[in-house]
């Protein structure tokens, strides 16, 4: 598969998207290796029939990629694009197509060669950059501004902030523009229960620009994005998909997820349950221990998310920036005498 050398790029976007693409590639490659090992032990596994062949996959991927690029090229050449009301919906459709393409790679990564996985992920990253550039050319950007407020109160799902966070990473901005979450809070207890009332359709949840907060997320959510947290304690129920954590300092995280990626974490403790090996990058002083969360109904939530069993992956951490055979100095196992006990977040009230 060839990469499109003509895709536009900037130094800032390259640095941000390249780092996320490398982390995503490393995660998928580890999952692929683990799956191949299981297949070697169980040659008759039914999972062999769930993936399309490599040649069929590459043909389908290439067809989708060419279609996306053709659509973006047509949008770019539209006369007087600023007066065309349909362009935004067309760009939204393109973004959905790219998301579907990324899902296709994830679903078939177990059966694909590692090189093809990395190449496809790089192509997807380039397509996302192209969409962003074309959007900037044909649709005027709105400027957002808001001030963080420092309060002393308990925030529940009825008080979730909806404004756009002031984050620098372009990829981070794209992730959180339309996602509900807690943003710009300080010294608060933030409570959210998923799967209650009208919250069943929530797919992504965001924690951004928090300081000194106690965050309690109960129930199942599809994905969690964490950005710029300082001195926070974050307790999370099962995440069906992935957790991406960026720029966190002096925090404690208790979470269960299929995939966990940690970038730029400093002096943080992670109590995890994960289906794949956690990945860290540009981090130091991070420590790991097993998941220890409790609330009413958590066992059912874990089973529904296919996270009911302890995998032991909390201690199998991959440091993407440490390629030597010896143990990475950037992470360690949290000593048992320093670990917290079971954390029960059933009580909404802050601890006295």
CA-CA distance, 18 to 27, in Å (whole number)?
Answer: 14
Q: Across the chain, what does the average pLDDT equal?
A: 77
DSSP states along 13-45: HHHHHHHHHHHHHHHHHHHHHHHHHHHHH-TT-
Backbone angles phi, psi at 336, to 5 degrees: -60, -35
Ranges 1-5, 19-23, 65-69, 315-319: which has the least confidence: 1-5
pLDDT in tens, 23-56: 656 666 665 555 555 445 444 443 343 456 888 8
Q: Which residues on neighbouring strands pair with residue 155, listed in sequence order?
A: 190
Grade residue 251 by pLDDT with cuts at 50, 70 and 90: very high
Residue 79's CB is within 10 A of a number of other CB atoms, namely: 6
Model pLDDT, residue 311 = 86
Q: Does 202 score more than 70 pLDDT? A: no
Q: Per mean pLDDT, which of 46-55, 168-177, 206-215, 305-314 is the most reliable?
A: 206-215
Report pTM.
0.54
Phi, psi of 3, rounded to the nearest 5 degrees: -90, 145
Tell me which residue of 233, 333, 319 sits closest to 289, measured CA to CA: 333
Q: Are strands 154-155 and 293-294 parallel, antiparallel or unpaired?
A: unpaired
Of the two residues 92 and 335, the one the predictor is more confident about is: 335
> Phi/psi of residue 158, each to 5°?
-75, -10
Burial 277-315 (b: 16+ CB within 10 A, else e): bbbbbbbbebbbbbbbbebeebeebbeebebeeeeebbe
CA 98/CA 105 separation, integer angstroms: 11
Predicted local confidence at residue 50, as pLDDT:
40
Phi and psi torsions of 256, nearest 5°: -125, 130
CA 331, CA 18: separation in Å to the nearest integer?
A: 23
Q: Over the stretch 102-130, which tens digit does the pLDDT of each residue have? A: 888 877 776 777 677 778 888 888 888 88
More confident residue, 162 or 121: 121
pLDDT the model gives residue 328: 86
């Amino acid at each position: 598969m060839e990469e499109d050398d003509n895709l536009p790029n900037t130094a800032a976007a390259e640095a941000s998207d390249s780092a996320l693409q490398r982390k995503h590639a490393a995660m998928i490659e580890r999952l692929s290796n683990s799956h191949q090992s299981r297949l070697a032990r169980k040659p008759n596994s039914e999972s062999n029939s769930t993936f399309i062949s490599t040649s069929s996959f590459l043909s389908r991927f290439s067809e989708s990629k060419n279609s996306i690029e053709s659509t973006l090229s047509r949008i770019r050449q539209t006369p007087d694009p600023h007066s065309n009301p349909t362009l935004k919906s067309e760009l939204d459709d393109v973004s959905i197509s790219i998301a579907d393409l990324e899902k296709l790679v994830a679903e078939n990564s177990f059966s694909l060669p590692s090189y093809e996985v990395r190449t496809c992920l790089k192509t997807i990253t380039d397509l996302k950059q192209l969409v962003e550039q074309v959007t900037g050319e044909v649709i005027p950007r709105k400027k957002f501004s808001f001030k963080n407020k420092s309060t002393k109160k308990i925030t529940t799902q009825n008080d979730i902030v909806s404004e756009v966070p002031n984050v620098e990473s372009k990829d981070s901005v794209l992730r959180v523009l339309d996602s509900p979450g807690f943003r710009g809070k300080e010294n608060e207890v933030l409570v959210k229960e998923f799967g209650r009332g009208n919250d069943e359709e929530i797919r992504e949840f965001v924690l951004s620009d928090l300081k000194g907060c106690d965050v309690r997320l109960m129930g199942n959510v599809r994905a969690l994005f964490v950005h710029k947290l300082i001195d926070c304690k974050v307790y999370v129920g099962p995440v069906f998909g992935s957790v991406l954590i960026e720029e966190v300092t002096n925090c404690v995280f208790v979470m269960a997820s299929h995939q966990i990626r940690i970038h730029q974490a400093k002096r943080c403790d992670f109590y995890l349950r994960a289906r794949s090996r956690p990945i860290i990058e540009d981090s130091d002083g991070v420590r790991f221990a097993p998941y220890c969360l409790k609330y009413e109904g958590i066992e059912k939530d874990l089973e529904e998310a296919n996270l009911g069993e302890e995998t032991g992956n909390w201690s199998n951490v991959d440091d993407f920036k440490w390629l030597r055979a010896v143990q990475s100095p950037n992470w360690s196992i949290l000593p048992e005498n320093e670990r917290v006990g079971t954390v029960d977040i059933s009580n909404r009230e802050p601890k006295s």
